[in-house]
Amino acid sequence: MKIVNVQKRMDLFDHAVNTYWEQWGNQDNFVFYQDCIKHSCKTEEDLPRFYIGLVDDQIVGTVALLRNDLNSRQDLTPWLACLYVSSEYRGKGLGAQLLDHAVKETRRKEYPHLYLATDLQNYYERYGWSQHGEVYGPDGGSLKIYRMPTGQQ
């Protein structure tokens, strides 16, 4: 799998937006995903960034680095979001590759930690992530925060 910034593959922009939205969106927020990804491709800032995993030029995975993942911990950044691997490619280590890419990009951008919020049990721990508290979303619900050091001081 080759992992690329959507910004570098504008020929796949529409397909990338659809892939993100189909996995993470709902019938009311297509424009939200489209606008987020569009502006991430235009900014020269280091965040946000949306990545796609490609096998034979087909999108089989996604991962994003965001300033904040729509949660109460505005003091923490950056956030890993939208980790996804197509069902036919699961169990082949592609999720680990996407996670590793996100950590390396975060290190390259000189952030000491990468964060994520999830309700998944025992997935991220397998890859060295540690629990780092709790976060609240706009709906009032809570999720666990995980943190991964990047090796950047």
Torsion of CA 72, 78, 81, 86, to 10 degrees: -170
Mean pLDDT of 36-58: 97
Peptide bond into 48 cis (omega under 30): yes
Q: Work out the mean pLDDT of the chain and round it to a whole number.
A: 96
Fold of the 2-149 domain? Aminopeptidase (3.40.630)
Per-residue model confidence (pLDDT) at position 152: 75
What pLDDT digit, counting tens, does each position of 29-46 carry? 999 999 999 999 999 999
Instruction: Return the domain boundaries, the chain.
Output: 2-149
Q: Is the pTM here over 0.85, yes or no? A: yes
55 close to 123: Cβ distance less than 8 angstroms:
no
